[in-house]
């Protein structure tokens, strides 16, 4: 992933010629909520002042000094990275220099953004837990959720979803369209559940949804909502998508969450074998 795809912090920049005192800059930090200010000269980064720097300046009684005086008293090497660099390179650079803020520039060395070390860490955590194609949680995170809730009293509705005749999308239109079908299904799943629930890409064209602390009738209702959203999609290339769904509940159907997932999978295949395009649930 390239830096330019990831930048989410609009940099707070100050022209070098606008010579604030540190006290005035601290006031701006408080008003704007910024944690850093990039000093620029003709749009090129010259210096960076972070909230930690501000604290140190106050401790050293430098609050009345101007930015120009601070730059002279505390010179520092400005560290930048090109906007088309990889975020892994950004992380290595930040780790190697022991910095929390990295300035992003274009090919002409003009300021375009800023990335924070903590944000990169969270992004890597997201990479580890999210399916890259769909943005849903991945099977690794599913295992974590199973371990967390198995043998507890938490009520969980499991909805197992499989795209009907998925192979035909790849065979007829190619893998890019096949990927689009998977993404479109994932997007409808996201739209159909609450923030407290979980959607997973289980593998290939299979998905699992976990609905927390809801009775069976609500879980079935959500399964139907997902089914209706997916099957009502219309696309100029692939036309429409069919899905089959299996539903089970923990701990009502089994006191082992792994077994409840298997039960939902079994119900899914009952739906598949009885004509597809159906929702089946454990009685």
Evaluate whether 161 touches 278 at the Cβ level (below 8 Å): no
* All domains in the chain, ordered by first residue: 3-123 (3.10.580.10), 130-281 (3.30.70.270)
> Whose CA is closest to 248, among 236, 237, 256, 239?
256
Q: Which of 65-69, 89-93, 135-139 has the lowest mean pLDDT?
A: 89-93
Is-contact 129 51, C-beta < 8 A?
no
| pTM score above 0.85 | no
Lowest-confidence segment of 9-13, 64-68, 226-230 by average pLDDT? 9-13
What residues are labeled active site?
205
Summarised one tens digit per residue, pLDDT across range 14-54 is 999 988 999 999 999 998 888 899 999 999 999 999 999 99
- C-alpha pair distances (Å), 247 with each of 152, 159, 250, 278: 20, 5, 10, 11
Edge-to-edge order in the sheet of strand 156-163:
198-203, 206-212, 156-163, 243-250, 279-281
Q: Which helix (H) or strand (E) holds 243?
A: strand 243-250
pLDDT bracket for residue 94 (50, 70, 90): confident
More confidently predicted of 147 and 125: 147
> Could you read off the pLDDT of 188-216 as tens digits, one per residue?
999 999 999 999 999 999 999 999 999 99
User: Exposed, middle or buried: residue 54 (CB in 10 Å: 0-12, 13-18, 19+)?
Assistant: buried
Mean pLDDT in residue range 133-144: 93
The CA distance from 267 to 186, in Å, is 20
């Amino acid at each position: 992933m390239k830096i330019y795809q990831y930048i989410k912090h609009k940099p707070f920049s100050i022209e070098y010629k606008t010579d604030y005192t540190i006290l005035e800059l601290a006031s701006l930090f408080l008003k704007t909520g910024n944690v850093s200010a990039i000093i620029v000269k003709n749009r090129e980064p010259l210096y960076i002042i972070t909230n930690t720097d501000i604290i140190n300046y106050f401790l050293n009684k430098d609050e009345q000094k101007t930015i120009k005086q601070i730059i002279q008293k505390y010179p520092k090497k400005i560290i930048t990275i090109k906007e088309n660099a990889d975020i892994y390179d950004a992380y290595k650079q930040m780790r190697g220099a022991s910095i929390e803020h990295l300035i992003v520039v274009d090919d002409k060395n003009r300021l375009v953004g800023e990335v924070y070390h903590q944000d990169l860490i969270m992004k890597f955590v997201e990479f580890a837990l999210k399916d890259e194609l769909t943005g849903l949680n991945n099977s690794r995170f599913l295992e974590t959720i199973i371990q967390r809730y198995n043998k507890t009293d938490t009520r969980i509705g499991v909805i197992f979803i499989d795209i009907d005749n998925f192979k035909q999308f790849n065979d007829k239109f190619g893998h890019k369209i096949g990927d689009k079908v998977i993404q479109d299904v994932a997007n409808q799943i996201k739209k159909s559940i609450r923030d407290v629930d979980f959607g997973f890409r289980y593998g290939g064209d299979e998905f699992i949804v976990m609905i927390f602390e809801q009775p069976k009738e609500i879980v079935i209702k959500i399964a139907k909502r997902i089914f209706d959203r997916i099957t009502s999609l219309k696309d100029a290339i692939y036309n429409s998508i069919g899905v089959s769904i299996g539903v089970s509940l923990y701990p009502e159907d089994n006191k082992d969450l792994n077994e409840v997932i298997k039960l939902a999978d079994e119900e899914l295949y009952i739906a598949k074998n009885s004509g597809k395009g159906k929702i089946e649930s454990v009685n």
